[in-house]
A and B are shown apart, each in its own frame.
Chain A
Amino acid sequence: MSTALTQKTAAAGAQITLTRCAKSFRTHKALQPLDLQINAGETLALLGPSGCGKTTTLRIIAGLETPDDGGTVMYDGVDVTNVPIERRNVGMVFQSYALFPNMNVLENVKYGLRVRDYSASNANSRASEMLAMMRIEDLAQRRINELSGGQRQRVALARALAPQPRVLLLDEPLAALDARLRDVLRVEIDRLLRSLGITAIYVTHDQSEAMALGDRIAVMNNGVIAQIGTPEEIYFHPADAFVGDFVGTMNSIEHNGKRFTFRPEDIDLVDPTSATFTGTVTQRLFLGDHVQLAVSIDGASSDAPVTIRVRARNSPSLNDKIGLKLQPLTRLARDTH
Chain B
Amino acid sequence: MLRKDNKLHLLLIAPVAISFLAFFLIPLARLFLIGGSGENGWLAYLSAFTEPRYIESMLTTLLLSTLVTAVTLAISGVAGVFLARNQFKGHAALTAMLTLPLAFPGVVIGFMIIMLGGRQGLVPTVTDWISGERIVFAYSLVGLFIGYVYFSIPRTILTVMAAAEKLDPRLEEAARSLGAKPLQVVAHVVVPALYPAFLAAGAICFATAMGAFGTAFTLATKINVLPMVIYTEFTMQANIAMAAALSFVLGLITWLALALARSLTGAGVAAAA
Contacts and interface: CB of A to CB of B under 8 A. Distances in A.
Contacts, number: 74
A120 interface: no
A98 B180 contact: no
A115 interface: yes
B176 A85 contact: yes
Contacts of A102: 192-193, 195, 269, 271
Given A96-B168, A115-B184, A143-B269, A101 B193 contact: yes
Interface residues on B, range: 20 to 34
A109 to B, nearest CB: 10
B53 interface: no
Interface in B182-235: 184, 188-189, 192-193, 195
Interface in B214-258: none
A112 B193 contact: no
B179 interface: yes
B170 A100 contact: no
A152 to B, nearest CB: 10
A188 to B, nearest CB: 20
Interface string A294-324: 0000000000000000000000000000000
Contact of A86 (B171, B177, B272, B273): B177
A232 B143 CA distance: 74
B175 interface: yes
B232 to A, nearest CB: 46
B181 interface: yes
Contact of A101 (B176, B177, B269): B269
Nearest to A88: B177
Nearest to A86: B176
A100 B173 CA distance: 11
A272 interface: no
Given A101-B193, A101-B269, A101-B273, A84 B170 contact: no
Contacts of A14: none
Contacts of A91: 177-178
B179 A116 contact: yes
B174 interface: yes
Contacts of A85: 173, 176-177
A116 B177 CA distance: 12
Contacts of B271: 101-102
Secondary structure type dominating chain A contacts: mixed
A261 interface: no
Nearest to A102: B192
Contacts of A156: 174
B244 to A, nearest CB: 44
Interface in A135-181: 143-145, 156, 159-160, 163, 169
Contacts of A89: 179
A159 to B, nearest CB: 7
A86 B181 contact: yes
B177 A100 contact: no
Interface centre among B173, B174, B176 (most CB of A within 10 A): B174
A161 to B, nearest CB: 11
Contacts of A144: 273
A115 B168 contact: no
Contact of B171 (A98, A115, A160, A169): A98
A116 B192 CA distance: 20
A94 interface: yes
A159 B192 contact: no
Interface of A: 62, 64, 84-87, 89-92, 94, 96, 98-102, 111-112, 115-116, 143-145, 156, 159-160, 163, 169
25 contacts: A64-B176, A86-B178, A86-B179, A91-B177, A92-B177, A94-B170, A96-B170, A98-B173, A99-B174, A100-B174, A100-B189, A101-B271, A102-B192, A102-B195, A102-B271, A111-B178, A111-B180, A115-B184, A115-B188, A116-B179, A143-B269, A145-B273, A156-B174, A160-B178, A163-B179
